A = this chain, B = another copy of it.
């Protein structure tokens, strides 16, 4: 079965924005964010509504950078980690843009970009769409684990959910930076039900996608500048690199993970690294897309990685399942 779709219609990144909170500002990418609120509150009274506001700020910032009004956007694809994805739906409702909610846990950024590409390609009249992904540390902590005030001890394999958002405006037609291929991920059993080791659980899904991609495409590793995963963190990245070294030799050397890039492991107490779907969304927006635009890198595989589970499913003894949808992003200008 073929799984990779090469986009017939060229689709480019028109603009993008990264928004973060306190820890994101303190991290090594802090100055690259378009906007950070070090109170993490974005002027709102609850963490949940703060996350919704963060998504609005991200979309408005991307719109502002593109010089476009929101009523040009024909479809908005968005998702987050809150139950029933309310940060996206209630948060972005005021724009009045036709909306599609997706849920892929921390794979949401890639899933939403891929879905938007397929709609732009399929719909003859659609020329501009937006994708927004958010996560908020304090909203996630009390929903998935315990309220922060409880002071629960975190395991060394645990990750730090980022307070971060990424917004992307995609346009039909050629541009400097384009999405050229996509490949939906398969659901892969992470072989653990340890909710404090989601990076480890997701590594197998990332490997499954890469194996399928290189087998089907026949591409060589040297054609890529990096292979980017979403939020495997230290534990998951180590597992993935070990698997890659054995079967897709060379891939392990160009692998990098957004969960390893967002924070400073010496200064910030983030254990195995960053997680949350805002991680890959914001790192794509503030780090990889600018590098692609400037031609510092020219060709990447980008896979946000999702841990498909719920607090209830873990209590009921289910394993964590991983998923890693993949897109290929390229700088389309000839080499200089």
A187 touches B89 (CB 8 A): yes
Q: Is the CB of B89 within 8 A of A321?
A: yes
Starting from the known contacts A2-B74, A84-B308, 18 additional A-B residue pairs (CB-CB under 8 Å) come to A46-B316, A49-B316, A79-B103, A82-B310, A83-B311, A84-B310, A89-B187, A89-B323, A90-B308, A90-B319, A90-B321, A92-B187, A93-B321, A99-B323, A100-B115, A101-B103, A115-B115, A122-B122
Cβ B186 vs Cβ A99 within 8 A: yes
> Size of chain A's interface in residues, with CB distance under 8 A?
65
Q: Given known contacts A3-B74, A84-B105, is B316 in contact with A98 (CB within 8 Å)?
A: no
Minimum Cβ distance to chain B for residue A127 (Å):
10
Chain B, Cβ-Cβ closest to A120:
B122
* A104 and B99 alpha carbons, distance in the complex (Å): 9
In the assembled complex, how far is the CB of residue A8 from the closest CB belonging to chain B, in whole angstroms?
Answer: 7
Interface residues of A in 1-56 (CB under 8 A from B): 1-3, 5-8, 46, 48-49
Please, how many angstroms separate the alpha-carbon atoms of A8 and B1 in the complex?
Answer: 23
Is A118 part of the contact surface with B, judged by Cβ < 8 Å?
A: yes
Residues of B contacting A49 in the complex (Cβ-Cβ under 8 angstroms): 316, 318
Instruction: Collect the chain B residues with CB atoms within 8 Å of residue A149's CB.
Output: none
Q: Does A221 contact B (CB under 8 A)?
A: no
A138 to chain B, nearest CB (A): 13
- Cross-chain contact B48 with A99 (CB below 8 angstroms): no
Question: How many copies are assembled?
Answer: 2
A215 is an interface residue with CB less than 8 A from chain B: no
Partner of A126 from the list B5, B98, B316 (CB cut-off 8 Å) is B5
Per-position binary interface string of chain A over residues 303-318, scored 1 when its CB falls under 8 Å from any chain B CB and 0 otherwise: 0000011111100101
Asked whether A71 is an interface residue with its Cβ less than 8 Å from the other chain, the reply is yes
A226 in the interface, Cβ–Cβ < 8 Å? no
Which residues does chain B contribute within 8 Å of A124, judged by CB atoms?
5-6, 8
Distance in angstroms between the alpha carbons of A185 and B105 in the assembled complex: 23
**With contact pairs A79-B103, A83-B84, A118-B119 given, residues A48 and B316 touching in the complex (Cβ less than 8 Å):** yes
- In the complex, which residues 259-291 of chain A have their Cβ closer than 8 Å to any Cβ of chain B? none
Pair A1/B71 contact, Cβ less than 8 Å: yes
A89 CB contacts on chain B under 8 angstroms? 187, 308, 321, 323
A125 located at the interface, meaning its Cβ lies under 8 Å from any Cβ of chain B in the complex: yes
Instruction: Determine if B98 and A3 form an interchain contact, defined as CB atoms under 8 angstroms apart.
Output: yes
